Structure 1
Amino acid sequence: MIKTPLTVRGAELLREELQRLKSVDRPSVIAAIAEARSHGDLSENAEYDAAKERQGFIEGRIAEVEAKLSTAQIIDPTLLDADRRCVFGATVDLEDLDAGSRVVYQIVGEDEADIKQGKISVSSPIARALIGKVAGDVVEVQAPGGVREYEIIDVRYI
């Protein structure tokens, strides 16, 4: 069985989503289906079709989240001891050598990735280039705009 790496926060977010899907979204779509059924002929009932489609989406997402949580390998970055190497869960301070700017990224699971919050997927090109490296190393990343170079300033486990 393939394990899905998640940070502690990522697992919490998935559990919250699952709770919302089961306790809020599922009952509301069941009520919408019942309401649409009460309007009569189901063959030409757009409300019924839309509610059934929404129900299918919700049930699919519940199954997906449950599967991810059942195969989750939860990693707490604060408990890591990776000799200051870039690993899953690490927060990495980088200097973009081409632009001269600094960025901070945390390497997280695919479901947690959000570039606006500085969280990059472990499977992204930049994370793959960083894994195993230490402060002071320079990495090249194949980006859509061409190759970019980053220097690792610091690696933290927070």
Structure 2
Amino acid sequence: MTQRFRLVGRGADIDRSQSVAFAFDGTSYRGYEGDTLASALLANGVHLLGRSFKYHRPRGVISAGPEEPNALVQLGPDAARTDPNSRATQVELFDGLVARSQNRWPSLRFDFNAVNDLFAPLIPAGFYYKTFMWPRSPKAWMVYERFIRKAAGLGVSPRQPDPDRYDHVNAHCDVL
């Protein structure tokens, strides 16, 4: 497998003898066992992983750990087995992984909501707290709230119960 953006001989935890297949936004890619989703996408030349929350400006990976603010992805093959808001820098690659970018419509390359950038001078911080105060009916706020939540940019929570059965629970203590 040829990946022109991969550093040769680097990455001690990456097993280059074990190739795995995964998909991102409907496109199939290949990576190695031990890669994270972010490192495999970067090695395949995919640099655009998300959009900014407010203005939908293009965003890519800028860090290598849990502090990554831009590469939030939705994991899972279907609506019942989905995991929103996963950081691509922390998702370990496995064969058959399906990931989708978030905060874009209709696609990551062409995001219709990027038009918000043209109206940046008219959209100050916290604009919706003042803008949507009229009319004062709860029904009007429910309409505004649905629009604001849709444009907010986070993933979609599963609406169906988890169909899988689990035999055991792994309980871990982070701080004691």
- TM-score bracket relative to the smaller structure: under 0.3
TM-score by length of 1: 0.25
Higher helix share: 1
TM-score by length of 2: 0.24
Higher strand share: 1
Larger radius of gyration: 1
